[in-house]
Amino acid sequence: MTRILIAGCGDVGSLAGVKLAGDGHDVWGLRRRVDALPPEIQTLAADLTSPDDLRDLPCDLGLVLYTAAAGGHDEASYRRAYVDGLQNLLAALVEQGQAPKRVIFTSSTAVYAQNDGAWLDEDSPTEPGRFTGQLVLEGERLLAGSPFASTVLRLGGIYGPGRDGMIERLRSGHAKRSPDWTTRFTNRIHRADAAGALAHLATMNAPESLYLGVDSEPTTEADLLKWFAERLGVPVPDQVSDPQRLAGSKRCRNARLLATGYRFRYPSFREGYSAQLERT
Ligand SMILES: NC(=O)c1ccc[n+]([C@@H]2O[C@H](COP(=O)([O-])OP(=O)(O)OC[C@H]3O[C@@H](n4cnc5c(N)ncnc54)[C@H](OP(=O)(O)O)[C@@H]3O)[C@@H](O)[C@H]2O)c1
């Protein structure tokens, strides 16, 4: 039994926490609104940006997962979630003489600026052009420079129940496609697999320092939208989105994660969205 702290314990953190608690671990969830935590997870109401709130962490932490997400799409919110909050937590762990075996950080594939549909893996260059990727990368580097062994899981776009925006837009006829939709590759992971992979890495003896957390099938936006249109019986979107909002095109490889023995519940969008469509 390991005492595990999940800091910024939201959707993915809670799902991983419930799995880890079910496996017999002593799981604590830290967030500001702790009433949203499931009963399997013990609560710690704290704001990661307030060092005073972190003075009394549970003792003898064996493992720390950092799954906080920015509360807004602005630079200050990203800095608070991925840099300041992490820095405060690491400082609190050091100050309290805690010796977790490992700290695991959920990062993002936004750290890759590649835009030509190239295949990428954990060794590919990270030169993000936008603050989103830059600040998440700053968090990764902060963690790597800490005294703790660490692992980073770079997640693709998370989808699944509760994240129905695209399905609703398609159903209501408000969905748009990118100008380069036939060549723009997107990468995603179902929330069950984001949490599953996180819990899996948490229980490994010696995980590597970096994994890509994406499913097994990067997909062009065109293939995705055409699949949806057929399944939902709606037209393929003909409105084109603002070219300013171009989001990049890359194909992230999950071979390293698969090599750990992790098996995806939803290896591609087809399985994941089929299950989601049955519920909506
Ligand atoms: N969504 C995506 O497509 C995507 C893609 C790549 C990577 N990721 C990463 O995956 C991870 C999990 O995402 P998720 O969807 O599970 O996020 P989420 O549901 O939004 O959970 C994040 C949690 O962080 C907590 N939090 C934020 N600021 C905090 C603060 N100052 N102090 C304490 N807690 C704070 C929030 O709880 P309170 O508000 O109650 O404090 C929230 O519950 C995140 O690291 C995210 O950046 C997400």
47 CA distance to ligand 1 centroid (A)?
12
What's the CA gap between 64 and 88, in Å, rounded?
13
Domain CATH number, residue 197: 3.40.50.720
Find out whether the beta carbon of 237 lies less than 6 Å from any atom of ligand 1. no
pLDDT 10s digits, 59-103: 999 999 999 999 999 999 999 999 999 999 999 999 999 999 999
Q: What is the pTM of this model?
A: 0.97
Q: Is any atom of ligand 1 closer than 6 Å to the C-beta of 17? A: no
Residue 132 pLDDT exceeds 80: yes
Asked whether the predicted pLDDT for residue 278 surpasses 90, the reply is no
What is residue 244's predicted lDDT score, i.e. its pLDDT?
Answer: 62
- State whether the beta carbon of 81 lies less than 6 angstroms from ligand 1: yes
Report CA dihedral (156, 202, 88, 41) to the nearest 10 degrees.
100
Whether the pLDDT of residue 34 is over 80: the answer is yes
Q: Is 8 in the pocket of ligand 1 (CB under 6 A)?
A: yes
In this predicted structure, what is the pLDDT of residue 20?
98
Mutation to probe ligand 1, out of 19, 32, 57, 136 (largest number of atoms < 8 A from CB) = 32
> Is residue 230 in a domain?
no
- pLDDT tens digits, 221-252: 999 999 999 999 999 999 898 876 656 899 99
Q: Is residue 264 very low, low, confident or very high in pLDDT (cuts 50, 70, 90)?
A: very high
Does the residue 92 lie in any domain? Answer: yes
The whole domain housing 28 covers: 3-161+188-217+251-279
Q: Count of domains in the chain?
A: 1
